[in-house]
Amino acid sequence: MKQPEKRLDIISKIPDREYSDIWDTCCDHGKLGYKLIREFPNAMIHFNDIVPHIVEKLNTKLYNVPSERYTLNTLDARNIKVTNDNTLIYICGIGGKMAIEIVDDLVSGNSHNFELILCTHYHQYELRESLRDLNFKLIKSELIVHQGQQYETIYISKDRGYEIPKYSEELFDKSCKLKTSYFQKSMCHYKKNAKYSRISNEIYSYYRELLS
Ligand SMILES: C[S@@+](CC[C@H](N)C(=O)[O-])C[C@H]1O[C@@H](n2cnc3c(N)ncnc32)[C@H](O)[C@@H]1O
């Protein structure tokens, strides 16, 4: 498990290949995109947020970056148009449910393939189920703790990788206290509803077995 303050550093270094276009969607402060400008000198970095004044502020923040290195985009991430197959889209710092909606719309609204890095909290089971239904595969994943919040970070593609594990079990490591505690917390969460929901019971039973 990595240090909390390193979340954006970690996720900016996850890609294992070059891209021509990289989107920092839901970018807010733009710190991730700024790191990507340095990490990927040959890529065009696209900043995106739905809130106009957030994007306007970025204009000032990026004063020392050549304008041909980036674009600023005020729009709902659901409506992004991907222009080539050599594109990576980051969706970070939001909840799993919102990520499901954004990815669904990105897939249905684009004919070009793209790879994704999602760094989200909550609703991981539902997110993974939805990504599996869309035929995404897992390239790699990380569990990151930032300001007390746990984020599962997944790097996915339709063209490479392996079947996305349903229960995030590839992140489990019995020798790591923080990881064990993450899975224990998830188990307790699902236990509460196990009597009333078949899925919650299934996930609870899986985690109980994993942690035993
Ligand atoms: C908590 S910030 C995440 C900042 C950054 N990505 C990170 O990981 O630190 C969430 C941002 O998502 C933006 N946002 C929410 N829904 C969005 C959408 N559908 N399209 C684009 N931006 C969105 C919000 O305006 C906000 O700035």
* pLDDT (mean) for 111-137: 97
Per-residue pLDDT band for 154 (boundaries 50, 70, 90) equals very high
Closest of 54, 200, 94 to residue 103, by C-alpha: 94
147 CA to centre of ligand 1 in angstroms: 17
Q: Residue 30 Cα, ligand 1 centroid: separation in angstroms?
A: 10
pLDDT score of 5 more than 60: no
Q: Which of 6, 7, 28, 101 has most ligand 1 atoms within 8 Å of its beta carbon, as the pocket-test mutant?
A: 28
Cα–Cα distance between 186 and 190 in angstroms, integer?
A: 6
Percentage above 90 pLDDT, the chain: 92
What is the rounded average pLDDT for all residues in the chain? 95
Q: What is the pTM of this model?
A: 0.96
Tens digits of per-residue pLDDT, 181-206?
999 999 999 999 999 999 999 999 99
Dihedral sign (CA 94, 97, 102, 103): positive
Block residue for tokens 């990105």: 106
**What radius of gyration, in Å, describes the C-alpha atoms of the chain?**
18
Distance (Å) of CA 210 to CA 140, 169, 192, 206:
20, 8, 18, 6
What's the whole-number mean pLDDT along residues 147-168? 94
> Which residues have any ligand 1 atom within 6 Å of their CB?
25-28, 32, 48-51, 54, 76-78, 92-94, 102
**Which atom of ligand 1 lies closest to the CA of 24?**
6
Q: What is the pLDDT of residue 212?
A: 94
Assess contact for 180 and 144: CB atoms under 8 A.
no
Nearest to 203 by CA among 180, 183, 187: 187
Average pLDDT over residues 56-81: 97
Structural domains of the chain, with CATH = 4-166 (3.40.50.150), 172-212 (no CATH)
Tell me the pLDDT band of 19, cut-offs 50, 70 and 90.
Answer: very high
Confidence grade of residue 136 (pLDDT, cut at 50, 70, 90): very high
